[in-house]
Amino acid sequence: MKKDELSDDKLEQLKDHTTDNSGEALTTNQGLKINNNQDSLKSGERGPSLLEDFILREKITHFDHERIPERIVHARGSGAHGTFKINKSLAKYTKANFLAEEGKETPVFVRFSTVAGSAGSTDLARDVRGFAIKFYTDEGNYDLVGNNIPVFFIQDAIKFPDLIHAVKPEPDNQIPQAASAHDTFWDFISLMPESMHMIMWAMSDRAIPRSYRMMEGFGVHTFKFINDEGKVHFVKFHFKPKLGVHSVAWDEATKISGKDSDFHRRDLWEAIENGAFPEWDFGVQIIPEEDEHKFDFDLLDPTKLVPEEEVPVELVGTLTLNRNPDNFFAETEQIAFHPGHLVPGIDFSNDPLLQGRLFSYTDTQLSRLGSPNFHEIPINRSINTVHNNQRDGHMRQQIVKGKVSYEPNTMGGGCPFQAMMKDGGFTSQEERIDGKKIRARSQSFVDHYSQAKLFYNSQSAPEQKHLQNALIFELSKVTIPAIRERVVGQLAFINKDLAALVAKKVGVDVTKLKQPNGSIPADADPKTLQSPEREPATKSSDALSMKNTVKDTIESRVIGFIMEDGVNAADVNALKNKLEKRGAVVQIIAGSLAPVTADDGSSFTPKHSLTSTASVCFDALYLASGKKSSDNLLNSENKPGTILFVNEAYKHCKAIYFGRETDEILKASNVGSKKHEDPAIVTSENKNSDDSFIKAVASHRVWELEMERNNPA
């Protein structure tokens, strides 16, 4: 087909590099039509294959090279397209266009990830989550490569390979996959007091999110804003999910890993497909340059956060994800982030962790994507056209016309020329640097415990319990007693009760805590063996507890309707409508995938059977009204599944609604007599039972009742 015969659609695809195969014949990579894709070329029907079969060779050669190296960290991830809108101009602080022009919308691609596991590992590993955003601004690409936790394990980039080697599967037997619960991780941690604040976060439920859509995002490091006058402010970046910050229970996480190891990936994909676009408020904490030293920690230390009580987060923008990628590999896998992809108006701080990252990311793309031309892959392209004198290299796509690839030149009319200052362009802050060349850590980085205390103190009682249990789980997997002792010794500097509790469960003799052998932090007073008795300026911070983020919404919550033949259609339809009107997702679960016949002769199509899924994959349950349905759910075939569903949902503190005439299920389950005292258990006897259920779903979980409910599922 000649170019002028191409339809507008095809021309558009050629331009944006997408392909739509519909209505098209199969071709080779050279565009040659293939009329037999079933048989290789042979010498006779039963003879050997011929080397000249270039169609076979092209197909197999390409297949042999389908894999590229996975990311060395953050290998497992999922991404989506969206937009970023600035609602309140930050021009006072930064000249970055995409932040300064009120109302401006910028296209983005966001990739969420776990850190330790391989590309095929479970989504529900206990781990930090990556929260990386590429802003395709009209001044060039800006990447904010952050995490869902606002601090990090280490203070200096030189320790990163050690940290990652320690957490990754052990080198002799490659065990365990996607888990920090093993000897080498805790050995390293026990010797790195600076990791204690991050350990508090990583052992909290923040490390097992309910969904990517319900996580906070943080830039982690302190960055700098520079405005038109060259004035500098320090800045911390925040993204706060509109749905609140929510997690699952550890017991759930381990079960979800078996039932649906793509739980987070699927959740993100389905929410976007269903039009429930994930949204975050974008916020900044701004600190004038002259206030750099007014805190009781160093702003350059990435193991510290700036408490919101000391510097409030100002919400100024919205991040929305509204389009799934067309192709996972081309987009989510090939996207290449780099904290050094900056735009004018944003600059780095001297955080020594950030400084090291500035080297790492381009370097890693060279081995992962195989060419210095990775910026030409469609997902990595800037929407600003690229003009420079770089040339050649593997897989070069851009065809630059003319003879000139140097500057200065006259033969190309001097182009591409240096931008005039007044036309924008990047300028680093003219920061005065006056110091000795030194390989050392600043004394201002030495306090490792006060913010760990701050985090622990700020947690609600159930959150603290979960954190304790996580430490007990992890340390119980550590086979070397001395490592467990050293970790407990570290915990003692954060909270004595926490240390004593963990010690008891992991077989550590608490009397040893008085003489922490080998666990003495670098900054401990050698006489008392205690770290400086520093307390954080802020004793407790509301923003650090997920409990304070609950929102009055059930949007996109997945609610399982358990039913069988004879179900009351009127009740089911009425509740389904109410829930769906509020944006929740209703999924029907029955004994099998066969249609369920309701009392009025209508039918419901189950999405799951009692054996193909589990309560851990749902936010809440409705035992649908109807005596016959209830009897069928309790017949010998269905009863174990039905009761396991209810008991597990109960154990995990989820809202459960017993519809009319389902008392027998209630009685047969662990919920039994507790129903009246329990805000998460709703029965048709409750006044306005539908509304009570909706309220219970919105509250996410009643974690406060977890201890009481700790019945075996």
Which of 73, 86, 167, 610 binds ligand HDE (CB under 6 A)? It is: 73
Which of 40, 350, 364, 609 binds ligand HDE (CB under 6 A)? It is: 364
Which of 132, 248, 319, 634 binds ligand HDE (CB under 6 A)? It is: 132
Q: Interface mask (CB under 6 A) for ligand HDE, residues 79-118, using x and -? A: --------------------------------x-x-----
> Is the distance from CB of 584 to CB of 556 less than 8 angstroms?
yes
Q: Which residues, 144 to 163, sit near ligand HDE by CB under 6 A?
A: 145-147, 152, 157, 160
Please state, in angstroms and as integers, the Cα–Cα distance from residue 301 to each residue in 39, 156, 195, 281, 441, following that order: 62, 9, 12, 25, 10
Task: Kindly state the greatest CA–CA separation across the chain.
Answer: 89
* Nearest distance, CB of residue 631 and ligand HDE, angstroms: 51
Partners of 609 in beta bridges? 590
What is the enclosing helix (H) or strand (E) of 488? Answer: helix 481-492
Sort strands 77-86 and 314-323 into parallel, antiparallel or unpaired.
antiparallel
> How many Å separate Cα 497 from the centre of its chain?
31
If the CB atoms of residues 336 and 498 are measured against ligand HDE, the closer one turns out to be 336
Take residue 389 and report the two structure tokens written for it. 């004198």
Count of chain residues binding ligand HDE (CB under 6 A): 24
Span from 65-73, 174-182, 402-410, 645-653 in contact with ligand HDE (CB under 6 A): 65-73
Amino acid at 585: V
> Is the distance from CB of 166 to CB of 104 less than 8 angstroms?
no
Task: Decide: is 530 part of the binding site for ligand HDE (CB under 6 A).
Answer: no
If the CB atoms of residues 160 and 473 are measured against ligand HDE, the closer one turns out to be 160
* Nearest distance, CB of residue 313 and ligand HDE, angstroms: 17
Q: Interface mask (CB under 6 A) for ligand HDE, residues 425-454, using x and -? A: ------------------------------
Task: From 217, 187, 206, select the one nearest 128 (Cα to Cα).
Answer: 206
Q: Which residues, 326 to 355, sit near ligand HDE by CB under 6 A?
A: 336-337, 353
Please, what sign has the CA dihedral across residues 597, 633, 682, 555?
Answer: negative
* Nearest distance, CB of residue 64 and ligand HDE, angstroms: 24
If the CB atoms of residues 346 and 491 are measured against ligand HDE, the closer one turns out to be 346
Sort strands 558-562 and 620-623 into parallel, antiparallel or unpaired.
parallel
Measured distance CA(188)–CA(179) in Å, rounded: 14
- Evaluate the omega torsion of the peptide bond into residue 176 and state whether it is cis, within 30 degrees of 0: yes
496-505 vs 461-476: helix crossing angle, rounded to 10: 40
Q: Which of 97, 147, 148, 647 is catalytic?
A: 147
Span from 73-81, 436-444, 640-648, 667-675 in contact with ligand HDE (CB under 6 A): 73-81
Measured distance CA(505)–CA(611) in Å, rounded: 35
**Virtual torsion, Cα 525, 530, 534, 540, nearest 10 deg:** 160
If the CB atoms of residues 223 and 250 are measured against ligand HDE, the closer one turns out to be 223
Take residue 378 and report the two structure tokens written for it. 């469609």
* Nearest distance, CB of residue 357 and ligand HDE, angstroms: 4
The reply to whether 74 belongs to the active site is yes
Helix (H, G, I), strand (E, B) or coil at 257: helix
Q: Which residue is nearest to ligand HDE (CB)?
A: 130
Task: Decide: is 220 part of the binding site for ligand HDE (CB under 6 A).
Answer: yes
Span from 4-12, 72-80, 117-125, 415-423 in contact with ligand HDE (CB under 6 A): 72-80
Rg (CA), the chain: 29
* Nearest distance, CB of residue 128 and ligand HDE, angstroms: 8
* Nearest distance, CB of residue 355 and ligand HDE, angstroms: 8
The residues annotated with a catalytic role in the active site are 74, 147
Binding site for ligand HDE (CB under 6 A): 71-74, 77, 111, 113, 130, 132, 145-147, 152, 157, 160, 220, 336-337, 353, 356-357, 360-361, 364
